Structure 1
Amino acid sequence: MTDTPAVPVEGLADTYTVDTLLYGFEGALSQYVLDSAEPVVVDTGAANTTSQTYAAVDHLGIDRDEVRHVLVTHVHLDHAGGAGEFAREFPNATFYLHPEGYDYVTDADRLAALKRSVDRAMGTEDAYGDPDLVPEDRAVVVEDGERLDVGDHTLRFVDAPGHAPHHFAAFDETTGGLFSIDAAGMYQQGEMRPTTPPPSFDLEANLETVRRLRALEPARNLYGHYGPGAPDEAVAELDHYEAMLPEWVAFVDEHRAERPSVSEILAVTGAEWQSPTVQRDVAGVLNYLRERDDD
């Protein structure tokens, strides 16, 4: 791991990876800075990891009042918790949100409820820090297919449910870089792994998202956990994830009758499925299967 707070992405002009050092660990969660004519930050990280972004922006010579755009790809608090603080530190930035995510960062009651549910699930207070609201006049909803001109790059927003219903991806039409974040799995030390959290993982929606992302023919995937995929392998990675997701769901389904708890399924989960979030991801599949059974 480099000590440089903003690491250039090979083959994608002006694109940099930022390690948020989530829970103090390297390689746990990545966000991105696009050093375009109108600088862009992709995701905010948690409320207690914002200093990493400031270090990256400073390293690139971008003044904080020059940051114009912040993409909040989805409102899970490891990705969106820093948004309110960013609204203060980046005073000229507009925040872009999925229609189903907008209220969670602009409405005090919804944000408080989200934080309580996350802290309860994580078993600790302030699991991702204490998030602040984004002022409504600084936040906009983006729809599938909308484009954002940032001067020398054009970003296309892509509705990307499955991992979460409030997830969008962003495709840089200038470089071919695809900010798929969590919509196309995680990339841990060169290995693909599923990311299927509760309460809203949806297999069919996620598979359809992967197919729509693949149709863009991206040059490189830019994951949230962790970092860029392999150069020129984005389509192959999407193919792999499309095959992997049903296999993962089938594995959990196969074992849940005799091993109904998360811990019991984890006991028979092999190395091919292990990731930093595997416990959570088993829980998400179990929730999906129960809802499917009830339909």
Structure 2
Amino acid sequence: MHGIHTIDTGFGRPSFDAAYLVVERGRGAFIDSGTTHSLPRFLDAIAAADLEPRDIDWVILTHVHLDHAGGAGELMRHLPNAMLAVHPRGARHMIDPSLLVAGANAVYGEDAVRRDYGQIVPVDKDRVIEADDGFVVDLAGRAMLCLDTPGHARHHMAIHDERANAFFTGDIFGLSYRELDSPGGAFIIPTSSPVQFEPDAAHASIERMLRYEPEAMYLTHFGRVTEVKRLANDLHEQIEAMVAIARRHATADDREQRIATDFADLYVDRAHRQGVTLARDAIVKLLQIDIRLNAQGIVVWLDREGAAR
């Protein structure tokens, strides 16, 4: 649809982590890059779209977390004409990814980072474009507007595709897995993973995207969703609920575990009210990584909020 091709990057599990190839008049742009292990899938996507690697003009990153951007350096090596567009706060991490890798090692552990993301390759600084708020990527005349959308991360941008009237949202418009679709529609949760979650900024970024009246959102986790206004409202409600949960347990010695347990209860309850028929254990298993990361991230926010008072 609209020349947009969904790529399952192979990270995590099937239908967990997506990137996109946008094709216009024989030219292409990738939105996000997956991990270094994802490279064969990107090259296959180019061939499936009847393109050559030289036909790709852009790699556009929503943000520089490794499941979105870890493969950018290796991918760029195979795209001789492509430029990389990234939020100004993320550009230096693409040119020198050492701090990015160190941060991931601190969260996940070195062995897991090596296994899950592969070797993180730097991008030549002469091929990196800092996409300030309002920067427009021109893909063969197709306007791709880059908007600063903090809340999940301060180096996050969402890309509005004028032709499709849709956003490529990275993580700012939450997570919606197709296994949790029901007659009530798509089920969605926010992502507050470490280390820059900011609830007020997340609310504002969601509202900013809604002002464009998009017909669809293309999520990294996972795929195209519609019912945009309803999903946005769901995200707003859950962000508020998650903040309330975090504050309730802020002084507990085991606050992260208490928060994670309450997040699981929140998501399961909302999923069941939406019409998801999976049992609680199945929903928690599907969301277990996100529950853990959301709890970790909101604890970081709690500490930062406390330090600011």
TM-score (norm 2): 0.85
Name the counterpart of 1:289: 302
Q: Deviations over 1:221-248 (max 9, x none)?
A: 0101111113xx1233223212221112
Name the counterpart of 1:204: 200
Given that 2:149 and 2:157 are in contact with CA atoms closer than 8 Å, whether structure 1 keeps it comes out as yes
Structure 1 counterpart of 2:220, which letter? Answer: G
Q: Deviations over 1:161-186 (max 9, x none)?
A: 11000011100111111101211111
> In structure 2, how many angstroms separate the alpha carbons of the residues matched to 1:154 and 1:267?
43
Given that 1:259 and 1:265 are in contact with CA atoms closer than 8 Å, whether structure 2 keeps it comes out as no
Could you tell me how far 1:204 is from its partner in structure 2? 1.1
Decide which of 3, 7, 15 is 1:27's aligned counterpart: 15
1:123 corresponds to 2:109: yes
SS in 1 for 2:5: strand
Q: Identify unmatched segments of 5+ residues in structure 2.
A: 179-185, 268-283
Could you tell me how far 1:259 is from its partner in structure 2? 5.6
Could you tell me how far 1:271 is from its partner in structure 2? 4.6
Task: Give the 5 Å matches for 1:106-255.
Answer: 106-107=95-96, 111-125=97-111, 126=114, 127-189=116-178, 190-230=186-226, 233-255=227-249
Could you tell me how far 1:98 is from its partner in structure 2? 0.3
- Which deviates the most, 127-136 or 240-249? 240-249
Given that 1:47 and 1:85 are in contact with CA atoms closer than 8 Å, whether structure 2 keeps it comes out as yes
Q: Deviations over 1:3-30 (max 9, x none)?
A: xxxxxxxxx410111111103x101100
Change (3 A) 1:187 1:115: same
Could you tell me how far 1:119 is from its partner in structure 2? 2.1
1:66 corresponds to 2:55: yes
> In structure 2, how many angstroms separate the alpha carbons of the residues matched to 1:51 and 1:253?
44
| Root mean square deviation of aligned Cα | 1.6
Could you tell me how far 1:256 is from its partner in structure 2? 3.5
Change (3 A) 1:268 1:209: closer
Q: Deviations over 1:234-272 (max 9, x none)?
A: 233223212221112212222343363423432344354
Given that 1:155 and 1:172 are in contact with CA atoms closer than 8 Å, whether structure 2 keeps it comes out as yes
> In structure 2, how many angstroms separate the alpha carbons of the residues matched to 1:80 and 1:135?
15
> In structure 2, how many angstroms separate the alpha carbons of the residues matched to 1:104 and 1:35?
27
Change (3 A) 1:271 1:229: farther
Given that 1:148 and 1:155 are in contact with CA atoms closer than 8 Å, whether structure 2 keeps it comes out as yes
Name the counterpart of 1:49: 38
Aligned residues: 278
Given that 1:218 and 1:235 are in contact with CA atoms closer than 8 Å, whether structure 2 keeps it comes out as no
Decide which of 239, 252, 263 is 1:258's aligned counterpart: 252
* Structure with the larger helix share: 2
Kindly, what percent of the aligned residue pairs are identical? 25
> In structure 2, how many angstroms separate the alpha carbons of the residues matched to 1:165 and 1:250?
22
> In structure 1, how many angstroms separate the alpha carbons of the residues matched to 2:231 and 2:261?
28
Structure 2 counterpart of 1:280, which letter? Answer: L
Name the counterpart of 2:87: 98
Decide which of 77, 80, 91 is 2:66's aligned counterpart: 77
> In structure 2, how many angstroms separate the alpha carbons of the residues matched to 1:269 and 1:216?
31
Q: Identify unmatched segments of 5+ residues in structure 1.
A: 1-11
SS in 2 for 1:48: helix
SS in 1 for 2:303: helix
> In structure 2, how many angstroms separate the alpha carbons of the residues matched to 1:263 and 1:269?
10
Given that 2:245 and 2:259 are in contact with CA atoms closer than 8 Å, whether structure 1 keeps it comes out as no
